[in-house]
Amino acid sequence: NGLILEDKVVGTGTIATKGKRTSMRYIGKLTNGKVFDKCVSGKPFTFRLGVGEVIKGWDLGIAGMKVGGERKLTIPFNLAYGTRGAPPDIPPRADLIFEVKLLDVKK
């Protein structure tokens, strides 16, 4: 599917699995390095894994991480915002890079 996962730090806590509520920190970049979104302080970004609340690349790329883990996700456009992109920040057919950290996993 073209998704590339690179573990920077392997966590030691609870494993993120489908249906669990995950709390994340992240930086999202285009392949040219331009940051289009981030959540690095304050309230973490939370979502339920594997149920379509986020782009497909996140649902696939976060699964299996353990709390405390840090991972780089290189997500092809078809698992991100597709041929339309997400104007104005994400152009059509844009592959995306996310640096993510898993802070917590809950039921």
Expressed as residue numbers, the domain containing 25 is 4-98
Which H/E stretch holds residue 62? helix 56-62
Are 69 and 77 contacting, i.e. CB atoms less than 8 angstroms apart? no
Residue 105 located in a structural domain:
no
In a domain, residue 82? The reply is yes
Q: Catalytic pick from 15, 27, 37, 47?
A: 37
Total domains present in the chain: 1
Asked whether residue 14 is domain-assigned, the answer is yes
Whether 98 is catalytic is yes
- CATH number assigned to the domain comprising residue 75: 3.10.50.40
Q: What is the pLDDT along the chain (107 residues), one digit of tens a residue?
A: 999 999 999 999 999 999 999 999 999 999 999 999 999 999 999 999 999 999 999 999 999 999 999 999 999 999 999 999 999 999 999 999 999 999 999 99
The answer to whether residue 104 sits within a structural domain is no
Kindly name the residue from 36, 47, 89, 97 that is annotated as catalytic.
36
